[in-house]
Amino acid sequence: MKKKTLYKKLHLNDQVFENIKKTVADVESKTTGEIALALAPESAHYSFWELLAANIFAAFLLLVLLPFSESIRGLYHLIYWQNEPSWIIPMFYVISGFIAVVLVFYLANIPAIDRLIIPSAVRRSCVTHRAFRYFTESGVYDTTEHSGILIFVSFMEKQVRIIADRGISQKISQDLWNLIADELAENLKKGDAETAFTNAIKKCGQLLAENFPNHEENPNELADGLVVLEDTEWY
């Protein structure tokens, strides 16, 4: 999915990015906790599942068409007077199968269809894996007090993960983060990314401020804004 399409669906623009960044900075001024945010168009390419679905559909189509070989011959004779070549029927099935594979593989890039094709367990696993990978890549795990959290959103899968570093996990139950993640996912479905993100950031900030209050030495160790991952960053 192109960034332009993603921004349009979530109503993202420069002002929204700036407002999200300011919200993170304001929340972090009250705690030594750090909040990182990432938005991925999707957490994997899922080409295997899309191609598998395309081939299954093509095989099903060929099974449906097989009993109609005489009708196909009749259609040929409506166009041409001479007898059909021996290869015309097999060629028709090959071309039909190829068109079916290409068509379904293309349609599978539509998020709604992708979600129907890809097993939910696979989608959940890919989102979790990508979230933990970015958690490491972005250095959330490496803050001074191990008090960083990552809010990771994967758009195509419509799933959210909030991953907390070990310092936070010792004080705050993962169940609380999961509640905020579920609420963020529901709010994002409404298409208002700014409200969804800012509400989630504030709720995370409240938990962090209660358990990791601000003190004199409080450097900003992670970028405050929302990071939109590129294709090359997914793997």
Give the chain's mean pLDDT: 88
Q: In terms of pLDDT, which residue wins out, 90 or 186?
A: 186
**pLDDT tens digit string along 32-53?**
999 999 999 999 889 899 899 9
The CATH architecture to which 3-44+119-233 belongs is: Roll (3.10)
Farthest CA pair distance, the chain: 92
The terminus-to-terminus CA distance of the chain in angstroms comes to 15
- Tell me the pLDDT band of 230, cut-offs 50, 70 and 90: confident
- Radius of gyration, CA atoms only, the chain: 25
Of 9-13, 88-92, 171-175, 188-192, the range with the lowest mean pLDDT is 88-92
What residues pair up with 227 in beta bridges, in sequence order?
38
Instruction: Name the nearest CA neighbour of 61 among 95, 106, 109.
Output: 95
For the record, the structure tokens of 4 come out as 């332009």
CA dihedral sign, ordered 12, 16, 18, 20: negative
**pLDDT tens digit string along 161-220?**
999 999 999 999 999 999 999 999 999 998 889 999 999 999 999 999 999 998 877 777
What does the domain layout of the chain look like in residue ranges?
3-44+119-233, 47-116
148-154 and 159-164 strand pairing: antiparallel
Q: What's the pTM value of the predicted model, to 2 decimals?
A: 0.83
pLDDT at 178: 96
> Are 150 and 36 spatial neighbours (Cβ–Cβ below 8 Å)?
yes
